[in-house]
Amino acid sequence: MSALLEVSGLAVAYGHVQAVKGIDFSLAKGEVTTLVGANGAGKSTTLLALSGLVPKAAGSIRFEGEDITRLPAHRIVDRGIVQVAEGRAILTTMSVRENLELGAYRRRDRAAAKADFDRMLDLFPRLKERLDGTAGNLSGGEQQMLAIARALMARPRLLLLDEPSMGLAPLIVQEIFRILAAINAEGLTVFLVEQNVRQALKLARRAYVLETGEIVLDGTGAELLDHPRVLEAYLGV
């Protein structure tokens, strides 16, 4: 697979604290790649840097061969990189329908957007049942589904996901990961930040382990599932 996104020497600092310390990685087109690690490792900061939501202290980011390191966030979305934030960040006082429609607010292909809207309701039948209800009344799992569906309404070429399983019941987590596998099977490239290391490594073709802002391991998801360091540190084996 060809590289869709290439990151070289990425560093991010908050004041005197260096959250990400010059990391290199790439995302292959059409694959799921996961970035795993403990709380505070720098995973979310890495995603925010890719989305243009925090300044980079050093390094470069290339997407489809174009240097996007200094592009503002809205231009990065225009290029096809869309993030589902940790905590979902849905608009709780608006309806499910309105949240989904806002996902396509920068699109001009209205007929295609309407087709994508209908597809989201097929992909997430729970949302179809609650379409005109207030988004804040959804369960945590339904809110996560809405956040993913809203991001897909932007028709991304790269979907960034920050802790999609956080706080959800095990059955809902399985459903979320089933949906992620389904959208990836349709060709969408996914970059997943996730504390549920076992689920993430099962889903991902390629994986990186981040510790205190540095990548310390990489390989296929299957390889890291069996790696002694991962088994001891993250899987309790």
pLDDT in tens, 225-236: 999 999 988 876
pTM exceeds cut of 0.85: yes
pLDDT at 168: 85
- Over range 171-192, report the average pLDDT: 94
Strands of the 189-193 sheet, one edge to the other:
81-84, 158-162, 189-193, 32-36, 206-211, 214-220
206-211 and 32-36: which strand pairing? Answer: parallel
User: What are the structural domains of the chain?
Assistant: 3-233 (3.40.50.300)
Query: Rounded CA gap, 234 and 63, in Å?
Result: 31
Tokens 């729970």 found at: 126
Query: pLDDT tens digit string along 8-61?
Result: 999 999 999 999 999 999 999 999 999 999 888 999 999 999 999 999 999 999
Question: How much is the mean pLDDT over the chain?
Answer: 92
pLDDT at 167: 84
- Over range 142-159, report the average pLDDT: 94
218: closest CA among 204, 232, 203?
204
Measured in degrees and rounded to the nearest 5, phi and psi for residue 236 equal 65, 30
Which residues are CB-contacts of 160 (< 8 A; sequence separation ≥ 6)? Answer: 47, 50, 51, 81, 82, 83, 84, 191, 193
Query: Rounded CA gap, 165 and 203, in Å?
Result: 13
- Over range 170-199, report the average pLDDT: 93
Q: Compare 169 and 208 and report the one with higher pLDDT.
A: 208
Q: Compare 170 and 10 and report the one with higher pLDDT.
A: 10
pLDDT of 112 > 60? The answer is: yes
- For residue 189, give both structure tokens: 């490239």
pLDDT at 195: 84
pLDDT at 237: 52
Measured in degrees and rounded to the nearest 5, phi and psi for residue 188 equal -75, 130
Q: How confident is the model at residue 187 (pLDDT cuts 50, 70, 90)?
A: very high
pLDDT at 87: 73
Query: Rounded CA gap, 139 and 187, in Å?
Result: 29
Query: Rounded CA gap, 51 and 128, in Å?
Result: 29
Beta-bridged to residue 196, according to DSSP, are none
